[in-house]
């Protein structure tokens, strides 16, 4: 870990604390640790999520320490049930942890109320789901405008920004189409445009190609890759190794903990690390 993060390891909560000791970790989880440096868009320390299923406790996440810098492109992999979606929902501010810390852009979000969380989510997070989640009766343009409606932005500004987002995914010529008048790949492009319209700090995608054929998946991966190249921070859950190969870092979850976390040589080269 220390090689990867260098001396400013954000997963170490204070200078003196070493998180390897369980008793120490408990102590720092109760009292939040040091605020991570601004270059870290995401820092989780000892993140846990447990579900109480009428007495039986399901430990979906058992202590995840993860730090992601701005402009990283990270794939999250792991077997079914390993906690990938649970982690994405926490990182996406759709859910709150049972224990541990989550810092987003230097803000401690793990202790926020639902209202605060909703505000942070609207401003900082763009989410893309496997099932697109578009409004069936609304045009592509209106679907993309929706997050701006919630943010209280006026109609002209909304349309301008929504068009810009649709241009980013090369779909401006299908603006007036409703979802059932679009192909699967085009629907996912609309969903990506909607996720981008607020200029989020992070773009999260949970198996975004899970409902697409292989050729369309390749097209959608190209969209994510172009966004990552242009500086968008992207975190993507995928089952497929060839899709993960596009990312510059691959985090593998197993039984609710990180089993491996590898930066790819392409990323190292780009950052001048090799």
φ/ψ (deg, to 5) at 79: -65, 165
- Among ligand ATP, Mg ion, none, what binds residue 51 when CB lies within 5 to 8 Å by partner kind? ligand ATP
Please pick, from the candidates 11, 43, 60, 68, the single residue that binds ligand ATP as defined by CB under 6 A. Answer: 60
Closest residue by beta carbon to Mg ion = 85
Strand bridging mode 99-104 / 233-237: unpaired
Rounded Cα–Cα distance for residues 126 and 196 (Å)? 6
- Does 238 interact with ligand ATP (rule: CB under 6 A)? no
> Least distance to Mg ion from the beta carbon of 210, Å?
9
The stretch among 21-29, 82-90, 176-184, 186-194 that binds ligand ATP (CB under 6 A) is 82-90
Q: Which is nearer to Mg ion, 80 or 230 (CB)?
A: 80
- Among Mg ion, ligand ATP, none, what binds residue 60 when CB lies within 5 to 8 Å by partner kind? ligand ATP
- Does 92 interact with ligand ATP (rule: CB under 6 A)? no
Please pick, from the candidates 58, 107, 135, 259, the single residue that binds ligand ATP as defined by CB under 6 A. Answer: 58
- Does 55 interact with ligand ATP (rule: CB under 6 A)? no
- Does 84 interact with ligand ATP (rule: CB under 6 A)? yes
- Does 83 interact with ligand ATP (rule: CB under 6 A)? yes
The residues binding Mg ion (CB under 5 A) are 84-85
The stretch among 8-16, 52-60, 180-188, 218-226 that binds ligand ATP (CB under 6 A) is 52-60
> Least distance to Mg ion from the beta carbon of 174, Å?
29
DSSP letters spanning the chain? -HHHHGGG-TTS-SSS--TTSHHHHHHHHHS--PPPPTTEEEEEEEEEEEEEETTEEEEEEEEEEEEEETT-EEEEE--TTSSHHHHHHHHTTSS--SEEEEEETTEE-TT--HHHHHHHHHHHEEEEETT----TTS-HHHHHHHHHHHTT--HHHHHHHHHHHHHHTT-GGGTT--GGGS-HHHHHHHHHHHHHTT--SEEEEESTTTTS-HHHHHHHHHHHHHHHHTT-EEEEE-S-HHHHTTSSEEEEEETTEEEEEEE-HHHHHHTT--
The stretch among 14-22, 81-89, 134-142, 153-161 that binds ligand ATP (CB under 6 A) is 81-89
Tokens of 272: 């001048």
- Among ligand ATP, Mg ion, none, what binds residue 1 when CB lies within 5 to 8 Å by partner kind? none
Report CA-CA distances (Å) from 188 to 49, 61, 106, 163.
Answer: 29, 28, 31, 16
- Among ligand ATP, Mg ion, none, what binds residue 121 when CB lies within 5 to 8 Å by partner kind? none
> Least distance to Mg ion from the beta carbon of 239, Å?
9
Please pick, from the candidates 9, 35, 81, 159, the single residue that binds ligand ATP as defined by CB under 6 A. Answer: 81
Please pick, from the candidates 12, 44, 71, 85, the single residue that binds ligand ATP as defined by CB under 6 A. Answer: 85
What number of other Cβ atoms are within 10 A of residue 266's Cβ?
14
Where along the sequence are the contacts to ligand ATP (CB under 6 A)? 51, 53, 58, 60, 78, 80-86
């Amino acid at each position: 870990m220390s090689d990867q993060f260098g001396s400013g390891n954000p997963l170490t909560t204070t200078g003196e604390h070493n998180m390897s000791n369980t008793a120490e970790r408990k102590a720092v989880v109760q009292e939040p640790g040091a605020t991570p440096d601004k270059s870290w868009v995401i820092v989780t320390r000892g993140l846990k999520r447990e579900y109480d299923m009428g007495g039986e406790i399901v430990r979906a996440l058992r202590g995840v320490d993860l730090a992601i810098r701005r402009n990283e492109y990270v794939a999250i992999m792991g077997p079914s049930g390993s906690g990938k979606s649970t982690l994405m929902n926490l990182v996406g501010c759709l859910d709150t942890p049972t224990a541990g810390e989550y810092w987003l852009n230097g803000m401690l979000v793990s202790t926020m109320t639902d209202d605060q969380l909703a505000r942070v989510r609207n401003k900082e997070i763009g989410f893309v789901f496997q099932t697109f989640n578009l409004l069936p009766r609304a045009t592509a343009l209106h679907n993309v405008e929706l997050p701006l409606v919630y943010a209280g932005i006026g109609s002209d500004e909304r349309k301008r920004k929504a068009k810009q987002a649709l241009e980013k995914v090369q779909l401006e010529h299908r603006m007036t189409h409703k979802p059932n008048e679009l192909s699967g790949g085009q629907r996912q492009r609309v969903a990506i445009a909607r996720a981008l319209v607020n200029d989020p700090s992070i773009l999260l995608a949970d198996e975004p190609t899970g409902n697409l054929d292989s050729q369309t998946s390749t097209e959608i991966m190209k969209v994510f890759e172009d966004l990552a190249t242009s500086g968008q921070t992207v975190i993507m859950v995928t089952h497929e190794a060839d899709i993960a190969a596009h990312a510059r870092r691959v985090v593998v979850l197993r039984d609710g903990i990180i089993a491996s976390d590898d930066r790819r040589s392409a990323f190292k080269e780009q950052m001048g690390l090799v």
